[in-house]
Structure 1
């Protein structure tokens, strides 16, 4: 599959098209069956004859005809570039249409052909080949998962490992593509990709043997960053099974990692994906003649664990439906966040960051009320006053504790999920490490007014919760230049039983590092004061 892009480019012109057999390319094979990618041309008097591509299932030494699994729309054979763009556009359109976990807010998404053509023109040949292979592989996966016969799916999954390893070697191209098509198409494309990669990781874990830790898959955890409209944006997508298993990583050896005893629960937890968006607002101020000031504060942070899959259409009993609903509600949840921003390591043009938040001590609010009741009385020793005093105190705890710190030239924002009763950190908890088990307080965690997550189980943090920013000072000699800044983070998700009865627990994490470009030019006539209590 790695040469399919060049194969399409090398198709003959209409005048030289072979009349005996259509050109074809082998995609997957076994001793009995094979899948091919074929080009069919309708030759006629016109030099602009249309060509269609198809995917077919064949059987060796069988008189039965081949079975066509998929057919593309016709495109002009005389224009290789148009041929590529039209085919790529159709593949992506079908991928986002068949994407799992489609939101009801964007049920119909329109994908412009101009967006595909514009971004495809920037591809180098090897990048275009990898991206096209990944897109075709993804479409073939959805075909085998939804419509194709079982034998086609078996062939596909048998050849999956080698093809995926090659196709994932195009992170730069995927970044450019996602920036060109917008967030709605991006979400659907990456959820389809995450669904395929989750199946791949599950198959890989099964092949390594029962309960063996096959290790993380960094190539399956994709991220990119961009600087746009005054924001540094970091986005990341990670199938849960591709993330680092924290317990196995701590032992620094191949460990027999435990798995859920319930097969349905194991299957549900395997088909989940972490989706991350970090947006940092950046402002460059040049009011002071001595230095340039760079202010950054958190615009928003979003972490969601999405269930990947399709709803079952067959009739089931009410008990089965209820069990399925409970299993589907079981998902990992964010338990720790640590992200950083600053000049690239080794930079000397900027000072270390000035922080805007002190250590995240628990917030405690004390309210004292004194009430005096009494009256005059007459006793044996004379008259007096009898009084009664009452006082009360109130403590307010937050599930998430946020802190700032500096690491070299970078500023670090860190949030930790804690059990509000014992202040046990969820991401670092192990059985026996704390007297109180936080799993008890985190059952049915998506309900109630005091929950630490949104209704859908995600973490959403806006600037009103993290209003304190950080500041760097840069010498005036850097004015007008463009410099590289780093943005990245390490993100943890954990699982404790929510609605079902299970003693299984785990914590996984993923780390991403990207670079963005910062122009040291004035951002405007006015300056937003981002740091509380710090004036220029």
Structure 2
């Protein structure tokens, strides 16, 4: 479905025969149970105005759907012809982006994004991407944007029949568009367009995937039509800017790898799923992990070596709800996954021979324990010849346990920052915990985890960590010969999220994880100052 190439190959104004003023691109087609063909088409049509000016109109047409009253939806009308291949169609891209942003789950209560949608945004980011990347790369970017826009037309504005057709015949065969395969183009676009628009696009991205994953579990048909990509669905990218390495990642929770899961069952009816738990799982499926890992680095130049230092500057993890309903009385809306373990790594590319040594900035913690001993000796004198003596000994041990335990480690020349969420009562690591251990239950109590003074999360259920909480920096000493070059370094993260009951009564428990990795630049260039 190479839509962008088809658009760019449309005839120019003087070559387009007015008697055949319509060009059609079939996007998908299938036959229903009655062997009737249904299809969705993209149509480009030349229209002559009142002043004999010719414009180009793009429409989505629904063929073979008797349930629809309107069979056509206009998505863009160009300025007057003649048509020039390429940049004339940038307003089409911008129009699609504006529609996606305005209808995103992140934009319905944002006045800033509404202004962006109403105003005429700058075309420069899209134009720059078109000039910087090959037609094939921009075509994959446009395909993703077009599929997201079609979701609102087919699965939101139309009937359930059209929505089902979209998921089966359009989204399922093109599900690879929703992976990190197209990261370079999206990364450049997000850096140029800003974080607000990025959040809108990625939450629409996650909302579509969440609906597809739910439907995939309910209907066997989609499983037969397509395979699940070998990599997790979602998107991540890394960049270097102003002395920072930044890794951003987005993933619907349901697309993440399931590490362990547990659900208590009624012994009389082992295969019956309670209605409350079905609703709970449906609510949990509409959640997305959004992560920002931010590392600060410095480069020091010495007489015989160059030293690179890195430390965690900021870590932000949020599990956001992908939806539009805001009912304060709905208890299930307060049930969310929460981060339970974080593993980040950074270091030179594999096989780098210029690194002489790696030093860590945090030692293994030996928790301090306070010991109290108390001895009591009691003597009793009676009229008898014997002396009665009673002895008592009391011993108390106190240990300080934090919500998060931070460690540093190495793997080759790569430095690792590892954090685990621990239960403050038992000391058990939540990501590794299992409800039943050797026939006995070890309880981990994380109810009401978003309230109170001892909570380990923000009020919204996220986690924000500053560099001072993660220990000191790590340092690499490298050969002086690399001075003046720009190196490629690896950065990555693996994040676990866990669900435990917060306010509802349920035995359902689950831990999922996802891993991202990318490359960033490390300029070894002395400052002119």
Judge same fold: TM > 0.5, yes or no: yes
Cα separation, 2, equivalents of 1:238 and 1:342: 24
Cα separation, 2, equivalents of 1:70 and 1:397: 61
Matched with 2:313 is: 299
Cα separation, 2, equivalents of 1:360 and 1:42: 73
Gaps of 5+ in 2: 222-226, 262-270, 373-394
Alignment of 1:178-197 (within 5 A): 178-197=190-209
Tell me the secondary structure at the aligned position of residue 22 of structure 2: coil
- Which deviations, in whole Å up to 9, do the C-alpha atoms of 1:324-368 show, x marking residues without a partner? x21111111000000100101111101332001011344x48699
Alignment of 1:94-243 (within 5 A): 94-102=99-107, 104=110, 106-108=112-114, 110=116, 111-159=121-169, 160-166=171-177, 168=179, 169-208=181-220, 218-243=231-256
Deviation of 1:44 after TM superposition, in Å, equals 6.0
Matched with 2:452 is: 448
Alignment of 1:320-399 (within 5 A): 321=327, 325-362=330-367, 364=368, 396-399=400-403
Matched with 1:289 is: 303
Tell me the secondary structure at the aligned position of residue 460 of structure 2: coil
Deviation of 1:16 after TM superposition, in Å, equals 2.9
Deviation of 1:198 after TM superposition, in Å, equals 1.4
Matched with 2:405 is: 401
Pairwise CA RMSD of aligned residues? Answer: 3.2
TM-score (norm 1): 0.82
Shifted more, 452-461 versus 8-17: the winner is 8-17
* Aligned match for 1:419, one of 413, 418, 423: 423
Cα separation, 2, equivalents of 1:63 and 1:428: 51
Matched with 2:466 is: 462
Contact map agreement 1:75 1:82 (CA 8 A) in 2: no
Quickly say closer, same or farther: Cα 1:63–1:307, change in 2 above 3 A: closer
Higher strand share: 2
Aligned length: 481
Deviation of 1:269 after TM superposition, in Å, equals 1.0
Cα separation, 1, equivalents of 2:528 and 2:274: 55
Contact map agreement 1:487 1:515 (CA 8 A) in 2: yes
Cα separation, 2, equivalents of 1:218 and 1:460: 27
Deviation of 1:192 after TM superposition, in Å, equals 0.7
Cα separation, 2, equivalents of 1:216 and 1:247: 21
Matched with 2:29 is: 29
Matched with 2:488 is: 484
Tell me the secondary structure at the aligned position of residue 114 of structure 2: coil
* Aligned match for 1:82, one of 76, 84, 87: 87
Contact map agreement 1:351 1:409 (CA 8 A) in 2: no
Matched with 1:530 is: none
